[in-house]
Amino acid sequence: MTSEYGKDPGLSYNKYLRVPELLDLQTRLSEPQSHDELLFIVIHQTYELWFKQILHEIDGAIVWMDEGRSFRVNHSLKAITAIEKIMVSQIHILESMAQIGFLEFRDKLNPASGFQSMQFRELEFVSGQKDEKILDFFSFDEFAFSRLQERFDKPSLADAFWALLGREGFAVETREDRIASTVEILTHPEKHANLFNMQDLLIDHDENISLWRYHHVLMVERMLGMKRGTGGSDGVGYLMTTLTKKFFPELWEARTHLKLN
């Protein structure tokens, strides 16, 4: 017999979601405590949870690409792009902080930096943008380094996509092959409907991360101007150098070569 609703439930909302533990994770460093520091922590912890879910979806998409399950791949890619749109808009909540309020606790963050977000670096690696210098940067952190090394060594989402195209009969050996194969898919979208949708969703993923980077740059400049980053980087200057990075450059370049027959 089930218990009466709301009375001594075997499993409650708070127990399932570990709400008491969750609410205990926002530890402010400022003294006296800055009002805006809680928002800063909550936003960044939320990002880390979104990164976790995106990595979960990408890992699933890679498995399903390997199995040739295009519908399931596209379903996960849609989830990824939906989350990323929220991530872009979420950045601007930080702009509700007063600039002087941010400075009340910013110096307490040294030498921590967003550059050290292990999961964002995992997202880059698993999407296809692997950088050995970034991997080496995490050598001081055994937990992060082992996770990133695994991502670095395994096939990426981009690798899985090109392998799938190869099994579908497209040439993918060289960069030029991959561009030409993408042009073929773009030229005949109805003939290659699942692959057309897939490459379009991969472009969405790439574009959303680029938008996230760009909006992040604007937010940082709005809040801090050209101050150096807490981790010692050039701040906005460094962030600007990341804006041209692409996970799937061949998909973007194929648009240049597309033409009417």
> Residue 204's pLDDT is what?
98
Is residue 148 scored above 70 in pLDDT?
yes
Residue 237: pLDDT band by 50, 70, 90 thresholds? low
CATH number at residue 52: 1.20.58.480
Query: Which range among 177-181, 229-233, 237-241 has the greatest average pLDDT?
Result: 177-181
Is 151 a member of any domain?
Answer: yes
Q: Sign of the C-alpha dihedral, residues 136, 212, 102, 52? A: negative
Is 21 within a domain? Answer: no
φ, ψ dihedrals at 153, nearest 5°: -80, -25
Tell whether 40 is covered by a domain: yes
How many domains does the chain contain in total?
A: 1
The per-residue pLDDT of the chain, averaged, comes to 89
94 in a domain, yes or no? yes
Instruction: Please say if the pLDDT value at position 96 is more than 50.
Output: yes
pLDDT digits (tens, 9 = 90+) for 190-209: 999 999 999 999 999 999 99
Does any domain span residue 25?
no
In 3D space, the residue among 56, 55, 14, 23 whose CA is nearest the CA of residue 42 turns out to be: 23
- 95 has a pLDDT exceeding 80: yes
User: Which tens digits make up the pLDDT trace of 8-41?
Assistant: 668 899 999 999 999 999 999 888 888 889 999 9
Instruction: State the pTM of this model.
Output: 0.88
* Residue numbers of the domain that contains 87: 35-105+117-257
Q: How would DSSP label each residue in 198-247?
A: HHHHHHHHHHHHHHHHHHHHHHHHHHHTTPPPTTSS-THHHHHTTTT--S
Query: Is 5 inside a domain boundary?
Result: no
